[in-house]
Amino acid sequence: MERLASIQARIEAALPEAKLALAANPGASGQHSLVVEAAHLEAVARRLRDDPELQFDYLSNVTGVDWLDRVETDKVRVKREYQGEEIEVEESVERRVPGYLEVVYHLYSVARGTGPLVLRVRTGNRTDRVDVPSLANVFRGAELQEREVYDLFGVVFTGHPDLRRLLMWEGFSGHPMRKDYVEPDDYEYEPTPHGEVAAKASRRYAKRGQP
């Protein structure tokens, strides 16, 4: 954590307009991460790669994470008039936290043998503000992996040299790794004992007027 904070300070000193935030990892692995604003991602990545003290020259892993919209309840104390008297009561207020897509980068240093440095960048929302600058021009290794994230999560990487679907076919709609993706019921009919699959298959065949 201290090491990450020193990296953060170093980057912020070099790039004063880029604001980084530490994201603590509550788990046992101790792999904390730095959250970067999308606008400064490329500059930060370039700095991490070229800084002679850091030399994070190896982008090992790029992946997406889908965080759905969620509702959180906050307990707030409010003043209410009750039978002519003003009293303080506790009320729960529902707060809607908009979801976002997150791209996670794992950087290592081949030159110094250090790592992983975890970078995260978040999109504005899950629908129309899903663009993030591409790192393919800083790290060639991001090229195929960003295509995969685009394909499966729907994050649009601006500046990517060849942003096409990687695993699904052209013309496929939807992004299968999103948490709210509904899988199609196009099961081939098989007399399987499993109720769920059989029900899905029979629903589909009933729709098409087949046995």
Partner 1 sequence: MIDRGGSRRDECEAGGEDAGRLEVSMGPQHPSTHGVFRMDVVLEGETVVRLKPVFGYLHRNHEKIAEQTTYLGSMPYTDRLDYFCSLTSNWAYALAVEKLAGLAVPERAEYLRVITAELTRLQNHACQMGFMLQDLGAMGTPMMYAFREREKILDLFESLTGSRMMCNYMRFGGCRADAPAGWIEAARGVVGDFPRFLDEYEALLATNEIVMARTQGVGVLPRDLAINASASGPVLRASGVGYDIRKTDRYGVYDRFDFRVPVGDHGDCYDRFMLRLLEMRESVKILEAALEQIPAGPVIDGKVKLRNFKPRAGEAYGRIEGPKGEIGFYLISDGSASPYRYRVRPPSLINLTALEEMCLGQKVADVVVILGSIDIVLGEVDR
Partner 2 sequence: MSVEGAGLIRGFIETGRNLVGSYVDPRRWVTVQYPEERRATPENSRVYPFLVYDGADPEEGLRCVSCKICEKECPPQCIYIVPAQDERGRPRKHPAIFDIDISVCMSCQICVEVCPFDSIKMDQAYAWDREDRFGGLLLHKADLARPNRYYRELHPAEARVVDEHLARERELRESGVRAAVRASLPGSGEPGGGT
Stretch that binds partner 2, among 18-26, 87-95, 98-106, 190-198 (CB under 8 A): 190-198
Shortest CB 24 distance to partner 1, Å: 10
End-to-end, the C-alpha distance of the chain in Å comes to: 61
Query: Which one, 168 or 197, has the nearer CB to partner 1?
Result: 168
Per DSSP, the three-state class of 49 is helix
How long is the chain?
Answer: 211
Residue 158, Cβ neighbours under 10 Å: how many? 11
The binder of 157, among partner 1, partner 2, none, by C-beta within 5 to 8 A per type, is none
- Using CA atoms, how far residue 110 sits from 54, 57, 114, 145, 203, in Å, is 11, 6, 7, 19, 54
Size of the site for partner 2 (CB under 8 A): 5
The binder of 60, among partner 2, partner 1, none, by C-beta within 5 to 8 A per type, is partner 1
Separation between Cα atoms, residue 104 and residue 120, nearest integer Å: 5
Q: Does 199 bind partner 2 (CB under 8 A)?
A: no
Q: What is the DSSP string of 1-41?
A: -HHHHHHHHHHHHH-TT--EEEE---SSS---EEEE-GGGH
The binder of 176, among partner 2, partner 1, none, by C-beta within 5 to 8 A per type, is partner 1
Structure tokens at 38: 């999308």
What is the per-residue binding string for partner 2 in 44-83, x denoting contact by CB under 8 A? Answer: ----------------------------------------
Q: Does 22 bind partner 1 (CB under 8 A)?
A: no
Site for partner 1, rule CB under 8 A: 25-29, 31, 57-61, 63, 65, 104, 106, 110, 113, 116, 118, 137-145, 148, 152, 161, 165-169, 176-177
